[in-house]
Amino acid sequence: MKHLFLAIFFTINTFFAWSQQKQPKLVVGIVVDQMRYDYLTRFWDKYSEDGFKKLANIGFNCKQTHFNYMPTYTAPGHASIYSGTTPANHGIIANTWYDKIAKTNVYCTSDENVLSVGTTTNMGKMSPSKMLVTNFADELKTANKQAKVIGISIKDRGAILPAGHQADAAYWFAGEEEGKWISSTYYMQTLPKWLEAFNKKNSANTYLQQPWETLLPIAEYAESIADNNPYEEVFEGEKAPIFPHNLPALRKANKNYDLIKSTPFGNTILKELALEVIQQEQLGADAITDLLAISFSSPDYIGHQFGPYSVEIEDTYLRLDREIAELLTFLEKQVGEGNFLVFLTADHGVADIPQHAIDNKIPAGYFEEKATLQAVNKALFEKFKVENLVENLSNYQLFFNHELIKEHQLNLIDVENVAVNFMLQQKGISKAVSATSMKSAEFDSKILANVQRGFHQVRSGDVLFVLASGWINKWTKKGTTHGSPYNYDTHVPLLWYGTNIKQGKKTEQVAIADIAATLSVMLHIALPSACDGKAIEELVK
């Protein structure tokens, strides 16, 4: 009886202490587009004390955080971080995917039912309508309608998907001849006066009037390969991908304001917007927790073009470190030290440039989608005497023409099996599995389980396949991409800092879905509707 009494007493005291915990006035979610975990460690000695190091040394570092699905792309990444689940549930299966009903490609945030705000182009016709579940931002707004939720990013999908369905605002960058921040009638009818004034300052133009030179003397970039190498894409108008990059001379050939996306100054203008949003919208000014979702997109553009071992990517992260430091210093002054909670993670990693890997004796290669589509259709014709049974190959999936299968009274499983066996015979493919298997079996091996968690029964294709480690879809032998279930694409940083966060680290594996679960428990609000993540115990106990 005595032990029972003590247990009840302990439970009540624990609950009381937990319920009385100080709540953050502002949550700032930072997603860095295409940040591999090793960028945190590889460039560590060159980081300042007030940016990444501050988050890791004073805050809490989850060292083994992974995406547990494929394809590891930007849109699924942002949707998964904030919804606490995977594409199998939230439905954002790629940035753009093949719509089996409409028989056309659809973009993850496109919405013909809304209009652009702040631009006469169609760049603002966007909303979160294709995301099928709630996310942390939605639950925060549901818990208290007075909470402010705002998403910002160079990319529309980086602003919209984290901010959820009930956001007060989402802002993204219109490049080309625009060079300003825009939105959609999903959120508002006109831009706020402060943003119109901010756009008139046109800081993007200021940064494009100067060359991109290295932050440090180039000889100090020992963590990167030689600046002049055969693996990197050049800007239009450049003869070699080397520093300095003459931005004023390159603007016209590189779609004017679009050029800033592929420089570290894309991060700078986003940081400037973040500071302005916090100040003008008075985020964190009262006891009701607000949310600012920030997604730094420029590292993704730069990483695709120059690769993970380039001087350009190292310089980008050294500069981003200083942007993060300035943001943290501003938050401490504006919101107050201990009054805000920051988490920083990434939406995916990136593969090495295959030719660079090959030249260094690492397995890698290039996969040709167009040739494979023709070949698989030829193999299916030889078996079933029906042409073009596969109507689309994209996002590591084959989509069948089901009207043809029905018209010719073919057995779907037979067609699947022939296609699966054919794909397994192709160089550069390590695994292939049918949609029927995805629906009827539960896979427990890491790779196939990742495929399954990326498979949406309504939106995904009929056969799914995985490229071999180091392989990417071929469009050129320069530059690289991401999307695989391998560690170079799944392993990302996860740093926590601020309200109620004690210094520490966790080396056991954390799934990306655990972020939303942890935030929900911290703020005592409902879990997002399909959240299957687990709260990180060290952060919530």
Cβ atoms 64, 508 nearer than 8 A:
yes
At a CB cut-off of 8 Å and minimum separation 6, what does 429 contact? 367, 423, 465, 466, 467, 468
- Give the C-alpha distances (Å, rounded to integers) separating 262 from 21, 179, 245: 42, 14, 11
Q: Of the candidates 194, 189, 180, which has an alpha carbon nearest to the alpha carbon of residue 115?
A: 189
Question: 266, 300 in Cβ contact below 8 A?
Answer: no
Alpha-carbon dihedral angle through residues 465, 470, 471, 477, given to the nearest 10 degrees: 160
Q: Which residues contact 236 (CB under 8 A, 6 or more apart)?
A: 250, 253, 254
Is residue 141 within 8 A of residue 166, CB to CB? The reply is yes
Phi, psi of 180, deg, nearest 5? -150, 170
Of 67, 59, 69, the C-alpha closest to 34 is: 67
345 is catalytic: no
Query: Strand 463-467 vs strand 340-346: parallel, antiparallel, or unpaired?
Result: unpaired
**Catalytic position from the list 14, 41, 65, 74:** 74
Q: Where does 68-133 have alpha helices with state H? A: 74-83, 87-90
In angstroms, the Cα distances linking 32 to 47, 158, 172, 175, 522 are 16, 10, 15, 20, 23
Separation CA 379–CA 372 (nearest Å): 10
Residue that has been written with the tokens 């290039």 in this structure:
366
Cα(286)–Cα(290) distance, rounded to whole angstroms?
Answer: 9
Q: Are 321 and 9 in contact (CB under 8 A)?
A: no
- Pinpoint the alpha helices (H) of 334-368: 354-359
**What would the DSSP string read from start to end of 327-352?**
HHHHHIIIIITTSEEEEEEES---PP
Q: Which residues are catalytic, by number?
A: 74
